[in-house]
Each structure stands twice: as structure tokens, then as C-alpha cells.
Structure 1
Amino acid sequence: MRIGVVTFPGSLDDGDAARAVRIAGGEAVRLWHGDADIHGVDAVVLPGGFSYGDALRCGAIARFAPVMETIIDAARGGLPVLGICNGFQILCEAHLLPGALTRNQHLHFRNRDQHLRIGATNTAWTNTFTEGEEILIPVKNGEGCFVADTHTLDELEAEGRVVARYTRGNPNGSQRDIAAITNAAGNVVGIMPHPEHAVEALTGPSLDGLGFFTSALRHLAGVAGGQLTGGATR
């Protein structure tokens, strides 16, 4: 399965994301922000970093990159898309996910290993996890505070679209400890911590991040075999 990894000006973790795809067993395809062609990939990762220098606000310019116009249309048609950190911000700016990521409440950049509790496991990116499973992956952000109006927060809760919550301390003040969410179809996931930095024993605090990438491959294999629909496992 071919998973595209986008590089924007200012991307920092595109190489790490591509490596995570390869470790999981997929083929990483590098995509350029200025190229609208996504070359027939089966899924896309929007990596962490500071796209376009975070000018205006995080993800605001990247949302209008030529590659994003294609990805937005494809995501609405069911293409699995994972946005990590800055990628999560881009997904919110593109209105593929609700809410926004704002300045950390304590106004400091936070970089540490972070415990998360998995909620939704019926997405294209989390189907190898179990509900309630606790994982440990790095977090590193200055504008990672997830905010939304009460109606949106209640809707995410009621529809089971909170993919992960912070545990053992909230690093940025995100409302309801939300670390990751999904769209209603389950193919688009945004996560503020970095699963791509927890895929190897040598460099990561765990191997827990690998599940996001193996989940995508499992999802795609199921779609190819007619076993999965709408991002949910059966």
C-alpha cells in the first residue's frame, strides 16, 4: 500500500513519517506541497513542523497549497488522511475536522513523552488499538490546545469521535483533554502528539506509535478485500 507524505516549506517530521510508513510495511511516497498530483496514493500523512513558517496562524497558508486542494477532495471521497501536529492544524483550517488548535494555555512550548488513552478504534488509523488502551508517544507543540464550542465538543463525545485523550497531565490545556479526533466517516484523523516518533526501540519512548500506521495498512487491505467500509473495522 502506498502512503503519501506531504512536504511543505517548514515541515520537520516528513522524513520521520515516511520512515514510520516503511517500518509498518507500507511504501512511502513523497508528495510536494506545490504539486496538485498525489500520484495515486492510497492514504496521506500531513506531517508535523511549521508549514510556511506558521505565518498568519498554524496551517492557515498550507490549507491553500495545491496539494491540499486535491487531498481535501479525496478525503471527502474517503481517502484516509492522518494529520500530525501541524498536520492536525492544517486539517482544522481545511475544515476536514472541527475546532481549532490555539496557543498552549501556559504559553510555553511543551516537549515530553506523553501518555494517551485511546478512545475511537473504528477509524482508518486506529483499528489495531483497543478502546481504553494507554499508549506513550512524544508531544512537542506550542499551539496544541484543542478548542471548540460546547455543541461541537458534545457532538464529538456523543458520536465517539474523540480518538485519544491526554492522561497523567494535559500538556497544553486542550478542552476535555482531547489529543486526537476523527471525522464522522473515520477516514480523517488529527492528532497533536507524534506517533511517528514512537516506532523504534532505539529512538522512541515506546513502539506505541506504530499502531497508527499499521492500522492504515490494515484498513487499506480490508478495503481492497471488501471487508471494511467507512473507516470502520468489521
Structure 2
Amino acid sequence: MRFAVLVFPGSNCDIDCYKAVEEMGEQVDYVWHTATDLSAYDCILVPGGFSYGDYLRCGAISRFAPVMAEVAKAAEQGKYILGICNGFQILTEAGLLPGTLLRNVSLKFLCHDTVLRVENNENPFTKEYALGEEIVIPIAHGEGNYYCDEATLASLKANNQIVFSYGSNPNGSLSDIAGISNEQGNVVGMMPHPERAVNSLMGSTDGKKMFTSILNTWRDRHDAAVIR
């Protein structure tokens, strides 16, 4: 399986994502924001940071980067895409996920471990978790307050698109939402950082299952295609 880690001016969690994939022994490349071809990759990671300095609005400039047209194409093809923190913000700005991320209600940057509840373990990124399982994943954001209108929230709930919720809401997110997917389930965005919870030296390994889940999902899908 081949992973791409996108890099925008101001990305600062790209190395974390790269190392998380390395931890699994899979192929991974950094891909610059000017790239115009992602066809070689099976999974695209959109990392956290402050892309383009978060000018105008978090992710508002990044969504116009050349590589984002390729990310949209990959999403349509059913490839796996995970946006983390600023990556989540970019995916909402690009229209690949519904809703938006607002300033934390405290108006403060938050950086600490938080407890998440697994709301959907049928997603390709969460299949190795138990439904309702509580996991410890760090957050580091100033604009992590997820918001959408009532119709969108109803749709998220009806289609089982809420992937993670906060055990104790740190930022004011609507319905305690910490992560969501698109309707197809192959695009996931979340504010907490699973790539920072893949090794016991980091204080938690609870994020590692997201990477092993997508790897094993891809292997099952790939093996089935080969058999046919």
C-alpha cells in the first residue's frame, strides 16, 4: 500500500504522519502542494499545521492548491483520504466533507490528550476499534469547533457519518463531534491527532488502529480484486 502525505507551506504535522506510516512498514512519500498527479497512491493523508499561515480562514487558501483537484479526483475514485486537524479544515473548505470548523469557544489554543468515543466502527479507518470504545488521542488546535446546519447534522446522523465524538467536549463542537466521514466513508476528517498516538513513547498507542484498519481494509479489497 502506498501513502501520500501532502505538504503545504506551513504544514507541521507532515513528519508525524510520515513516521506513523513508517511504523507500519508501508511505503510513504511527501507530496508537495503543487503536485498534479496522485494516481500512484492508495491513501492520502492531509496533515495538520497552519497551511498558508491560516490566512483568511483555516484551509481557505489550501483548497485552491493544485494538489486538491487530485485529492477530489481520488475521493471520487474511492481512494482513502484522512484529513487531520488543519487537514480536516482543508477538506471542509474543499467541499469534500460537510460543515466547517470555528474558533474554540474558549478562544484559546488547546493542546492536551482527550478521550474520544468511537461512533462508527464500520468505516475503513475504524474497523479495528469496538463500537463505543473510548480511546485517548491528543488535540492541538485553535479552530476545532465543528459546526453545520440542522439539515446537515441530521444527514450525518442518519448516514452514520459521525466517526468520533468527544468524551468531554473541549472546543464547543456541535453534538460533541470530533470526526466525520463523507457518505461513501472513504474520506474522513478529524481534529484530534491519531498520528501522535502510535507509539507507547508518545503516551498512547490508541491512534495506531486507524492506520492498521485502513491498511487491512486495503489489503482485503486488493486481494479480492486479484482473485477476481
Structure 2-normalised TM-score? 0.96
Counterparts of 2:39 and 2:33, CA distance in 1: 13
CA distance in 1, matches of 2:30, 2:74: 17
C-alpha deviations, 1:121-149, integer Å up to 9, x for none? 12221111111010001001000000000
Q: Match for 1:197: what amino acid? A: R
Q: Is the Cα–Cα contact under 8 Å of residues 60 and 90 in structure 2 kept in the other structure?
A: yes
CA contact (8 A) 1:136 1:205 kept: no
Partner of 1:208: 206
Within the alignment, does 1:50 sit opposite 2:50 as a pair? yes
Residue by residue, what CA displacement relative to the aligned partner does 1:83-102 show, whole Å, maximum 9, x if unpaired? 00000001101111100001
Name 2:157's counterpart in structure 1.
Answer: 157
Secondary structure at 2:224 match in 1: coil
Which structure 1 residue ranges, 5 or more long, are not aligned?
228-234
CA distance in structure 1 between the aligned counterparts of 2:147 and 2:24, rounded to whole angstroms: 32
State whether residues 138 and 205 of structure 1, in contact with CA within 8 Å, keep that contact through their aligned partners in structure 2: no
**Deviation per CA, 1:58-101, whole angstroms, max 9, x where unpaired?**
00111111111111111122010000000000110111110000
Distance in 2 (alpha carbons) for counterparts of 1:137 and 1:205: 9
The alignment of Structure 1 onto Structure 2 pairs a total of residues equal to 225
Following superposition of structure 1 onto structure 2, how do residues 131-150 of structure 1 map, counting pairs within 5 Å? Answer: 131-150=131-150
Identical columns (%): 49
Q: CA RMSD in A?
A: 1.0
Q: Which amino acid aligns with 1:208?
A: D
Structure 1 position 219 matched with structure 2 position 182: no
Q: Which residue of 1 aligns with 2:185?
A: 186
Q: CA deviation at 1:39?
A: 5.2
Distance 2:37 2:16 in 1: 22
Match of 2:58, SS? coil
Aligned to 2:71: 71
More helix by share: 2
**2 CA distance for matches of 1:40 and 1:70?**
11
- Which blocks of at least 5 consecutive residues in structure 2 are unaligned? none
Give the alignment of 1:11-90 within 5 angstroms: 11-38=11-38, 40-90=40-90
In structure 2, how many angstroms separate the alpha carbons of the residues matched to 1:103 and 1:154?
Answer: 23
TM-score, structure 1 normalization: 0.94
Partner SS state of residue 29, structure 2: strand
Assess if the C-alpha contact under 8 Å between 2:38 and 2:74 holds in 1. Answer: no
After TM superposition, the structure 1 stretch with the greater mean CA deviation from structure 2, 218-227 or 4-13, is: 218-227
| SS at 1:28 equivalent | strand
Matched with 2:174 is 175
- What displacement does 1:25 show? 3.0
1:157 corresponds to which letter in structure 2? K
8 Å CA contact 1:25–1:214 kept in 2: the answer is no
Q: How many Å apart are 1:24 and its aligned residue?
A: 2.3
